[in-house]
Structure 1
């Protein structure tokens, strides 16, 4: 039985990261049902309950080192772990776990990582030194490949694959419909989902999204539903936007599992997202999407399916967003077909991450 330790931003009530873990476990389990996986988590009990795997605390460094000594492989990823824009300290933490694995003599794979931006001479030097000493790197987009090249990380085998969530199986829509009924948001009206987040205390984009929400209701006769990907932070962000609206909208105020989120998104006619994995969920469930950029990972994902973000959080306008919403609303089937063709290829690439990980673990 091979043993794998997984390091990432798990147990922190972020739907995107929990979906990445669920997708990784799903594909790895399909390929090797006897695999033993231990996840380093901010909330080990939640991770055990949610995913059915062993978990240890991210603060328990002695326990982590003991587990790494027993393991055949450390998977670092997926997600944007190796960057220092949203947090300077987290970069050094995740690099520290990688360094512990090397010290324990355990193989290391950077798994479908979104690399960078990594800024500052010390951080760049540390990442260059460590990145050239892992065993295998897969990245989820071409922008991450470019960041590795800029940093001078060339020694391990490197492949561009895709975000792990793209390999997850689509789910039925019944659970999502039941959640909508509980919020009195069901019925014959079409649904536009909006995924929001706080960002650096900015207020401009919240006013824009409040106006867009009203215009969607008036012009399209649709229902607007705000979906919280990071609980409860995104609920509070949605409430700030809803307080500025004049037309009715619905805020989902509960925490959901990956399958519940997928089912919710599957019941939508369009997803307008700031959160990356809200857009990826839309791709998995065959729903047209519009992204607003705040981080290179949004631009990189949209580029991979032939799309571009509509502005960014600093300067996006309601008119820009409504123009793109109308364009996709009037020809939803065409955009769904185009995205579906590209996502078939990305799904295969996402599954390849697990194949490469098991090949490395079994060596």
Structure 2
């Protein structure tokens, strides 16, 4: 009798980033239905939160965690350095306990936000190197990538990708980026984002009036913008607040939402401004509710009419509910998603955000919403169907060709949804 492969799902998970959670939820849905006998463990940045939400055993990717930080900067630096050395022993030890390591979606090979080479890029490379040495199979599934400017990060990304047993990307741009960095991608697939496999939210009861979902982001630029990151952040907050005022003045209800805990500072700033400058309107036209999961986010957005957002997975959550949206884009992945959904004209770059133009785009979006909604529904259905081919290919690569037939499971079909024990 063959023992079912032991699976480690790896990523920056459990830290509150809702987009990463959506990728995890989609992968767990697939694994539990297609490979119910395989025990699953999550190796992540927030193991306590993942265990609480998903009921699977979890532990930290690295020895050092922010909770170990001290008031002494020197001591904290010392702990970080010790952690890098400790991980050289710790990582190969835990990797040997698993047969398969899967990175589900996420922008794991991106530098669109500020990133240090010896953080996530180094940790990911060390895991994949350890897996190669121990004989474990590895997969980068539906990931996002871009060409890294920093030589050290580019080397780590390229080396990690070359060590993978299976690779697929959520868009052509990501595959081209890996090819540009020296990876042979000729056999790699491009498939829709994993979150398209999740079931759409149920339609909410209709409420009178018009509601706009306004997704905000604590945007400070990329590594190239470190010298002016605070100015970039400040300019964005001023402009998004100006747009929120306009929405309230025009009679819209505004539902503020986030995609990461760091975004809460922007929510607080916008909400405080509206309560101060529009006290007679804020209570009735401003909605601020916490969101703890990707599923909760899609449910909240199901209750709005239109969406304006920056974070990629905020936009994707809007699409799964067939909501016309405007992207205040901080990365190429935003623009690609908008093109796929037939919304290419409803976007503009975050660093050159023009509020007057945004208002014009919003008015045009509202007028054309009915026909745009039909196009979004069709594109989402096609994306969900396309993911089934990827799941079959993934199973063949990691579990063997004899497991492929059982793996071809459509979202929402009966299966074992119970948490697996490691």
TM-score (norm. length: structure 1):
0.89
| Structure 2 residue aligned with 1:195 | 215
Indicate whether 1:343 and 2:384 are aligned. Answer: no
Q: 1:336 to 1:216 in 2, by over 3 A?
A: same
* 3-state SS, counterpart of residue 350 of structure 2: coil
Q: Contact 2:197–2:384 at 8 Å: present in 1 too?
A: yes
Which of 27, 42, 47 does residue 39 from structure 1 map onto? 42
Indicate whether 1:326 and 2:326 are aligned. Answer: no
CA drift at 1:155: 5.9
Per-residue deviation, residues 53-99 of structure 1 (Å, max 9, x unmatched): 22121225466534432322211231111134421232222222222
| Structure 2 residue aligned with 1:315 | 352
Per-residue deviation, residues 286-329 of structure 1 (Å, max 9, x unmatched): 11111111122212222332333522222111111111111111
Per-residue deviation, residues 144-168 of structure 1 (Å, max 9, x unmatched): 0110121121167300001111110
| Structure 1 residue aligned with 2:73 | none
Please report the RMSD computed on the Cα atoms of aligned residues, expressed in angstroms.
Answer: 2.2
Partners of 2:27 and 2:351 lie apart in 1 by 34
**Where do residues 200-239 of structure 1 align in structure 2 (5 Å cutoff)?**
200=220, 201=230, 202-219=233-250, 221-231=251-261, 233-239=262-268
CA drift at 1:119: 1.6
| Structure 1 residue aligned with 2:290 | 254
Which stretch of structure 1 is more off in the superposition, 202-211 or 279-288?
Answer: 202-211
TM-score (norm. length: structure 2):
0.77
| Structure 2 residue aligned with 1:130 | 160
Indicate whether 1:91 and 2:118 are aligned. Answer: no
**Where do residues 108-187 of structure 1 align in structure 2 (5 Å cutoff)?**
108-154=138-184, 157-173=187-203, 187=207
CA drift at 1:211: 2.1
Indicate whether 1:244 and 2:283 are aligned. Answer: no
Partners of 2:256 and 2:39 lie apart in 1 by 37
* 3-state SS, counterpart of residue 243 of structure 1: helix
* Number of corresponding residues: 351
CA drift at 1:195: 0.8
Per-residue deviation, residues 132-188 of structure 1 (Å, max 9, x unmatched): 2321110001110110121121167300001111110112245xx7xxxxxxxx942
CA drift at 1:108: 1.2
Indicate whether 1:78 and 2:114 are aligned. Answer: no
Partners of 2:355 and 2:185 lie apart in 1 by 46
Q: Contact 1:293–1:311 at 8 Å: present in 2 too?
A: yes
Which stretch of structure 1 is more off in the superposition, 276-285 or 38-47?
Answer: 38-47
Partners of 2:386 and 2:334 lie apart in 1 by 18
CA drift at 1:272: 0.7
Larger radius of gyration: 2
| Structure 2 residue aligned with 1:296 | 332
Q: 1:289 to 1:74 in 2, by over 3 A?
A: same
CA drift at 1:234: 1.6
Which stretch of structure 1 is more off in the superposition, 64-73 or 159-168?
Answer: 64-73
Q: Contact 1:5–1:71 at 8 Å: present in 2 too?
A: yes
Partners of 1:133 and 1:271 lie apart in 2 by 39
Q: Contact 2:27–2:194 at 8 Å: present in 1 too?
A: yes
